Structure 1
Amino acid sequence: MTLWLGALPVLVIVAVLATVLLRRRRRAGIYAIVAANVAVLMGAALVLLTETSASAATQATPAAAAATDAAASGASGSALIAAAIAVAGSSIGAAIAVAYTGSAALAAMSERPEMFGRAMVVVGLAEGIAIYGLIIAIILIGQA
């Protein structure tokens, strides 16, 4: 866990630099964002693998109580990572959907102002994608 706290400032700096690069040189900014995402993905996989290997090592000991606690800790850690992925993926999907539907709704409303109600329904449906991810995360955390 301390590894993540040490890597957090580096990831923030990379995110800020990627934003600056996106404004000046678009392709280099996209490469920086993809590299940061790959680094976070590899770090999450490393944490997940160390958790499962630690729980497997403690199960080899004869203490049944310690093995049960470690197995529960590894399972809950995996459930929390899965919940985070569900929320992040659905939020990114909702952001992309709202970006496209929102711009199309504004374009339609600029030509025909009476389209406001229909346009807001479409944008609201796109925003519902994030709610679905949140519900899945709550279910995953509840079962952990």
Structure 2
Amino acid sequence: MYWLIGLMTMGIFGLILTGIYMEMQPDKGVNPKRWFKPAIGTNLVIFVGAQVALVFMGMQEVMAAPAVAEAGGEITVGMGLGIIGVGIPTAISTIAAGIAVGPIGAASLAVLAEKPEIFGRTLIYLGLAEGIAIYGLVMSILLLDKI
């Protein structure tokens, strides 16, 4: 199983090194070398393949493990999936809030350059976009109470 983690690490390091290479030589980014696209594709395939294999091997390892009774209680597969399901609203709402805050913040800065007196309105719009993440967090807390 450790070799899969090594593959994932190599894939990430390959992507990071490629990004650093492209950042250091931005003029070559317009006309990249022939090896650039296959290298990125190979690194992504290695990383995603290693993640899928790690998840598959991890599931088999959990299913094959003998049941261990602990004093604090036992977490079953259903309980684990329930906890993952509780975290999904927070994850999706946080991503959605990030997607919303980006354009709204850029537009707010552009408007503030022309009309600084509407600073309060732009804060309200940013607050509404950020509220999406708070709604997801509240939903996760309410769902966690049901487990």
Q: Provide the TM-score with structure 1 as the length reference.
A: 0.60
Specify the structure having the higher radius of gyration (Cα).
2
How far is 1:138 from its partner? 1.8
Higher relative CO (Cα under 8 Å, sequence separation at least 6) belongs to 2
**Residues 80 and 140, structure 1, Cα contact 8 Å, conserved in 2:** no
**Residues 7 and 50, structure 2, Cα contact 8 Å, conserved in 1:** no
Q: Deviations over 1:11-38 (max 9, x none)?
A: 753664575478565996x969976995
- Return the match for 2:129 from 110, 126, 135: 126
**Residues 94 and 129, structure 1, Cα contact 8 Å, conserved in 2:** yes
Structure 2: which amino acid aligns with 1:13?
F
How far is 1:86 from its partner? 2.2
Percent same amino acid at aligned positions? 32
Q: Select the structure that is richer in helix.
A: 1
Separation in 1, partners of 2:90, 2:144: 12
How far is 1:123 from its partner? 0.5
Q: How many residues align?
A: 132
2:10 corresponds to 1:13: no
State the partner residue of 1:83. 86
State the partner residue of 2:63. 54
Give 5+ residue unaligned stretches, structure 2: 31-35
Give 5+ residue unaligned stretches, structure 1: 59-64
**Residues 14 and 36, structure 1, Cα contact 8 Å, conserved in 2:** no
How far is 1:89 from its partner? 1.6
Q: Provide the TM-score with structure 2 as the length reference.
A: 0.59
State the partner residue of 1:73. 76
